[in-house]
Amino acid sequence: MVTNKKLLPDYSKRRDRLLRGLRSQGAKNLLVTSPYNVSYLTGFTGEDSFLWITPKEVVLLSDARYEEQIQSEVKDVELLIRAPSTTIVDAAADALALRDQAEIWVEAASTSVAQWERLGSRLPNKALASCSGAVERLREIKDAYELNAIQDSIRIAERAFKATSELLQPEMSEKQIADELEFAMRRLGAESAAFKIIVGVGERSALPHGRPSNKPLRDSSFVLIDWGAKKNGYLSDLTRVVFTERPPAKLEKMYRAVLQAQMDAIEAIGPGVLMSQIDAVARRTLEKAGLEKRFTHGLGHSFGLEIHESVRLGKGQDRPLEAGMVVTVEPGVYFPGFGGVRIEDDVLVTDSGNQVLTSLAKQWDEVLEA
């Protein structure tokens, strides 16, 4: 476990790794347009900024609103502030027109078609090439700083959950619970919730992405809560089912099967194991309980600066896990009109296997007594 609080990210090392990766794909430069990737490569946490990177120069293209912030957050990067009258794409084109590269690689996933066409028309003497996933692949392997940040985020999410659990009252609505939980996370130092918190009472727990409503807790014996915190830009992602009294036997059966599937899947996680294989382990366990058809989504995803990053534990994902990846493991089974159970924890792939980063109780006897 990483505990060094003074740990700082090494942005120039990240940029060197990016350039090495690009070179192996035949690319010699990159116009980074994803704000998350700009942040990962420079430390800048604002928006509306591009990063131009070659072996010889690193240029952050931003606007005057961010000038002060960039000076305090970013080091060893040339800063280019665009005039308020130009768009970021035109400013990028103007800057690139002055450079001698004949081929410009551009992040395709975070560049709109309109931006791409505009860039092309402003750079008639250059060829635009599409680059996808180069920075995202680097971001799959978390460094010590990132692991520390994710652990801080998890700690906040867990403490806030415990505090909120103690406040629960029968008349509280899903929306009130979500608001209390978000406020508790902010009070504990989070910038915000990691995503829109999901709270589903009773049959509403069967909606995998249900928005919190005015339905009160007293309408059912159980409630599903899916939440996470954002701390220093890094996220966490957990799900628990909370019981206010003993639920129907059918729900207990679902819970026990989902928990077993989750624990079996976690046990299978390690470097070199295919992502699809972990998903298959969970499905096999649910199949034995006759619930496999009710497991209607992938088993998990990587996260960090964004809640859904490029690693997916699901069918067809035939890449091996690598040490340093952080993934959620979140099997769920859902019966529309009755209810759903999902249990989600955050797991780090280590050199020898894995480490579960989350620690909230989930065993049947523990959650029933709480």
List residues binding Zn ion (CB under 5 A): 226, 237, 328, 344
Tokens of 214: 């005015």
Which one, of 66, 115, 124, lies nearest residue 92 by Cα?
Answer: 115
Provide, rounded to whole angstroms, the least separation between the CB of residue 125 and Zn ion: 46
Cβ distance to Zn ion smaller for residue 276 or 328? 328
Provide, rounded to whole angstroms, the least separation between the CB of residue 300 and Zn ion: 7
Residue type, 289: A
Provide, rounded to whole angstroms, the least separation between the CB of residue 307 and Zn ion: 7
Residue type, 160: A
Cβ distance to Zn ion smaller for residue 128 or 181? 181
Provide, rounded to whole angstroms, the least separation between the CB of residue 189 and Zn ion: 20
Pairwise CA distance, residues 255 & 363, whole Å:
9
Pairwise CA distance, residues 13 & 10, whole Å:
5
SS3 assignment, position 156: helix
Provide, rounded to whole angstroms, the least separation between the CB of residue 239 and Zn ion: 5
Cβ distance to Zn ion smaller for residue 152 or 344? 344
Provide, rounded to whole angstroms, the least separation between the CB of residue 229 and Zn ion: 12
What does R_g of the chain's alpha carbons equal in angstroms? 23
**Range 148-159 burial, b when 16+ CB lie within 10 A, else e:** bbbbbbbbbbbb
Cβ distance to Zn ion smaller for residue 247 or 300? 300
Provide, rounded to whole angstroms, the least separation between the CB of residue 224 and Zn ion: 10
Cβ distance to Zn ion smaller for residue 162 or 250? 162
Cβ distance to Zn ion smaller for residue 182 or 344? 344
Tokens of 233: 């830009």
Q: Where are the alpha helices (DSSP H) in the chain?
A: 11-24, 35-42, 67-73, 88-97, 113-122, 134-140, 144-167, 174-187, 249-268, 275-288, 364-369
How far from 55 is each of 16, 52, 76, 166, 190, CA to CA, in Å?
Answer: 8, 10, 13, 54, 36
Cβ distance to Zn ion smaller for residue 176 or 328? 328
